[in-house]
Structure 1
Amino acid sequence: MSSQQTGTECYKSIGRRFTLEKKLKLILYHKYLYLMLIPVLIWYIIFCYVPMYGIVISFQDYSMSKGVFGSTFVGLTHFKELWQDEDFWRAFWNTAIIAVYRIVIEFPISIVVALLLNEIRHIKVRKTIQTIVYLPHFLSWVIVASIFMTLLSPESGIINAICTGMGINTPDIISNPNMFRGVLIWSDVWKEAGFSSIIYVAAMASIDAELYEATDIDGASRWQQIWYVTLPGIRNIIVIMFILMLGQVLTWGFDQVYNFYNPMVYDKGDIIDTYIFRTALSDNKFSFAAAASMFKSLICMTLLVVSNSVVKKLGEESIY
């Protein structure tokens, strides 16, 4: 071995040691933050990673009496059956269509809510409005579904009573398949738009105030300031949130749909998660349901990886 190679390896070793020491110092310096992170990691390990061994049953003819290790291995049989199941594809396309509606409608609305909150200059008024728009997020879907059903009920609903008093006939919105998706989207907007705007409001707070002062001097209007200062200032956050949204497009809404839907709206409202729930618990087809869940997860992972790669190539900040 030449002296040059020996010297190169020595420098690499010193560099690795220096990097390791630097990392250890940073960890010790931020030790309390890492300690706060431990419960979160434990939660994810117990409830997200440990249960992943259950995907094995999607390749088995699973029997509760035999367990995971005793059930017969059947390979891709359940995936072939899934591919030919019309109910699954109906649920898949329903999920995809509802997801597109959520992206097109809900994603921009949360940004608009954040922009409107940012434009309120009176601190007490802003805090009051923020509290009002954030509050629905903390209500369970059981309560939210009860509120909307009470409002929209064709027999005893408040809206129906008002319209009847005005001589207007109101349709049965909850049981109408063509209106059911609209109920899902707008109830989710009411519940989550305010809370989803928090991260955008926080990002707007970090924009340099001198940029707004400079545009004021140049005579820019408030709309021009929003377009040329505020939106570019939170562009990276918008991109990251969009990537994360794409990664979970097929996993949204089980609690919501389960509390809203009924057999009359299955054709338009049944989604993959409710299909899996019904298949596993009602029909006792656990392996088949696991195969459907794995298929859904693979699609979500693909969307996340592809969208992140596209954003990287466009020169924007990505999630990894």
Structure 2
Amino acid sequence: MTAVPFEMVDMFAHAPFSGSQLTVVPEADGLGEADLAALAREVNTPETAFVLPPVAPGATYRVRVFTPGGETPFGGHSSLGTAVTLVRLGRIAPGAVVQECGSRLHSLSVGPDKGTVTAENPVEAREPDLALLTAAAGVDPADVVEAPVRTAGFGPAFHYLQVREEAVPAARADLALMAERGLPDVMVFSWDPRARRATARVFAPGYGMPEDAACASNALGLGEWLVAAGRLPAADGTYEYLIRQGVGSPRVGTVECSVTVSSGRAVRASVTGTVVPVARGEFLLGPGGGAAPVSA
């Protein structure tokens, strides 16, 4: 029987049991495909990151990321939590880190309890159906704030819906509708222009998370959206903004963000967050495969 250590952490958290949950398996080399999927289902956190030796030149380590429903090819959501955990455990040095996930490399700057992930080159925007977004998020169309309706992102393109502040905690995702119409996600948020702060909820069933308490990828894309929508300046420079996510749900996360503008468009965005350890333990793998946690 083989013992496989794991760490459970909360990302973008102000205290234990806030922010977004992540399980990190620091030594996943040698685990089979079925083991990875089984462990992710067993621990049942929104994402489980399995750390492996790097393949790409310049990468610090490689990671495969699973939700309880299967593997996700992006790994942006969990990159910060994984890197900070590896620094805290002494497995990688603090400072600049390059995480390999699938065909993508994520650039980070991390310490033992906090880190920053940076992305460049936003994807091409699309114009989604406003009526679909409001119905999917359970938002009254009267609560929608007039703004360009477009996707934004630095990896996958996310869907953003700006509403009045009181509509955010009342939002309720129609997961059946989202599945039927092929809508993977929607971020419902209000915007305080003086504080440059968004209050948000993110529903992402297409990524295996009916609701995400704090999400790096959505936060990066919001910076591009804010510039394109005129909520942040289009003059060259770097502008900070803050996201309080999960308001109205049992878990709230805080994401510190910035976006860099060049020639009138967003070209780079960064998100920073605190990672709080909450549990550690071991999985036991028998000789025939299969796993179950024995301590936490």
- TM-score tier after normalising by the smaller chain length: under 0.3
Which one has the bigger strand percentage? 2
Which one has the bigger helix percentage? 1
TM-score (norm 2): 0.23
Rg larger for: 1
TM-score (norm 1): 0.22
